[in-house]
Structure 1
Amino acid sequence: MTKIKWNHAAALAFFAASQVAHAGTPSVGSREYKVLLNPVAFDSSPVDTANRFLTDLQASLAANGFDSTVKKTFSADNDRTVLYYDSPGTCAVKQAGYSMRERDDSSGRNIELKFGSANETTSANTDVSGSSSKASSKLEDDITPPSNQTYSHSTNEPLSNSKNINHLSDINDLFPTTHVFDSISSQSLAPVSGLSIHELTFDGPTSDLGQEDADFTMTVWYANGSSTPALAEISFEVDVNDNGVFTDKVTSRSQLIFNTIQGMTNWVQSPSSTKTAWVYKYQPTFCSQ
């Protein structure tokens, strides 16, 4: 068998070239598993309901042979207003594979542009760079029932209190490398389905997956000032290890938790979707006015 010998200089040159070739192309940093729950259950004291769900999940995991458990309990995390933006009548943002979300809380406004694709390479190579020095980007593997997988490339950045979002041109102002809307930049942007969402999130619980932890979040939405919950979601996030991979053990244990949650039919909303899909369905005529 012929062996290829590398001298030190050649090896360094090859490594440097390969690094340049992959510079700017992100890799998946985390997986997030998401399941919608029946919001009616959260009508009274959502944090207490979240912890009742947790107790049921712990029992269900034990019954399904999970050799660990979910530790800690849910407590209040975020309290904020959420808006999604798109063009009324055309939904050009959604049609191009993007979503645009604003969050506003006591610390100020934040804007996120996200591109999603079932193809990891397509999503990774779609540039969503922000305009702020405080912009933060990530590539995430989103998994929803029953086993739908979307690679989401997103950037979050602060949004000035004086910034109005009125037209598709605002997307290019905030995310300058996004040119897909240039030819229709004068089209208006408005909150999708006319929705202003009051979002409460609760976090705290974790589960040891055998090298990485699963970090759980419960999200509850209230629509347009209502005191009755309109949507609830349980999610858990798992980061890659120090080598940038999900080990087989972490993957199988994550899948067991995900499958167990889906099997909790007394809690799970059926049919399931995503929070973003729910926003667009809230007023079905928004995209076809």
Structure 2
Amino acid sequence: MKRLLAISLLSAASTASANPDVISREYKLMLQPALFAYNTESSDVDDFIDDAETAIEAAISRNVTGSASLSKIRDVEFFDIDGSCVLRNKGYSFRERIESGDSEVTLKFRSEDRYISDFEDMSATSGSAESKLESDVGISASSNFVVLYSHSTTAPNTRTINQMDDINDQFPGFDSDYGFSDSTALDRVGNLTIREHVYKNVDIDLGSIDAEISVTLWYNGTPSGASSPVVAEVSFKYEDNAADYTKKVVNRAKQAFLALQDLSAWTDPASKTKTRFVYEYDPSFCD
């Protein structure tokens, strides 16, 4: 009996560790940056949200509520090894965001396989760090529904990012797994500092759970006048710490995503994603 119980417990533990909960799902679609300008940004976002609301409500017969407002203004920088982009090549990104003088860093790993993504050790030294396994839903040239799994940890930061110990000291699991020298230099990818504007406060009623819409605009440096962003993205996200999503919720989310894709006057299927834009801004950075 004890042997059977031990086998049963081992089987249960193995199942739990091999069936990671995806606690967040985010659907992302690139927009045409030229349709937005800094001096008309708010009204441009409102115009888009009006069209998105009409399309989504028609597709899922549920309400889209709220009014888009500028909720975040922050500077964004990515860091990697100049000349090799080792982090990128291993499936990682390392990003700093600074908002109102406060810095946070995010270490993120992406994979097409959620198990591979979940097995990456994203532990952090900060007691305020937050980790999650998330499905990122986007599109490709051949499919209107492509899923990647991202495992990330975000932590408050007080360091000036310039070498690998700025990752190793804060993310000991990463240090243990990869063992990069602390003194390895880290540089801003593409020498870019992005000014990010994020509009929120619009929700999609998916049934038992709501999804929050975000419109994210990236400017190359501090915007002024009629300057347009270099990247524009609409996304919506819903979360459940138990990953207990219902069939109706996930189906409505997919239909909402397809409805956004039909807004051809706004969307830009050929546009680069945010991270890809950064890494390809200076093609020589990774060479």
User: TM-score scaled to structure 2, two decimals?
Assistant: 0.88
Give the aligned partner of residue 3 of structure 1: none
Work out the CA distance in 2 between the residues paired with 1:50 and 1:266. 14
* Matching residue's letter, 1:219: T
Pairing 1:62-211 to 2, within 5 Å after superposition: 62-63=57-58, 65-106=59-100, 108-145=102-139, 146-160=144-158, 163-179=159-175, 180-183=177-180, 185-211=182-208
Query: Which ranges in structure 1 are unaligned for 5 or more consecutive residues?
Result: 1-5
* Matching residue's letter, 1:151: Y
Work out the CA distance in 1 between the residues paired with 2:82 and 2:212. 36
Work out the CA distance in 2 between the residues paired with 1:25 and 1:102. 30
Matching residue within 29, 52, 59 for 2:54 = 59
The farther-off stretch of 169-178 and 117-126 is 169-178
Closer, same or farther in 2 for the Cα pair 1:31/1:136, shift >3 Å?
Answer: same
Deviation of 1:181 after TM superposition, in Å, equals: 4.1
* Matching residue's letter, 1:248: K
Identity %: 33
* Matching residue's letter, 1:95: N
* Matching residue's letter, 1:153: H
Work out the CA distance in 1 between the residues paired with 2:131 and 2:242. 19
Work out the CA distance in 2 between the residues paired with 1:226 and 1:188. 30
Contact 1:46 1:220 in 2 (8 A): no
Deviation of 1:60 after TM superposition, in Å, equals: 2.1
Contact 1:26 1:138 in 2 (8 A): no
Matched positions, count: 277
Work out the CA distance in 2 between the residues paired with 1:117 and 1:265. 29
Work out the CA distance in 2 between the residues paired with 1:102 and 1:184. 20
Work out the CA distance in 2 between the residues paired with 1:14 and 1:197. 52
Matching residue within 202, 212, 217 for 2:214 = 217
User: TM-score scaled to structure 1, two decimals?
Assistant: 0.87
Deviation of 1:239 after TM superposition, in Å, equals: 1.6
Pairing 1:234-245 to 2, within 5 Å after superposition: 234-240=234-240, 243-245=242-244
Work out the CA distance in 2 between the residues paired with 1:250 and 1:193. 39
Query: Which ranges in structure 2 are unaligned for 5 or more consecutive residues?
Result: none
Work out the CA distance in 2 between the residues paired with 1:197 and 1:25. 36
- Cα deviation 1:54-109 (Å, max 9, x = unaligned): 1111222345x421131111011111111011111100010010000100011510
Work out the CA distance in 1 between the residues paired with 2:131 and 2:180. 26
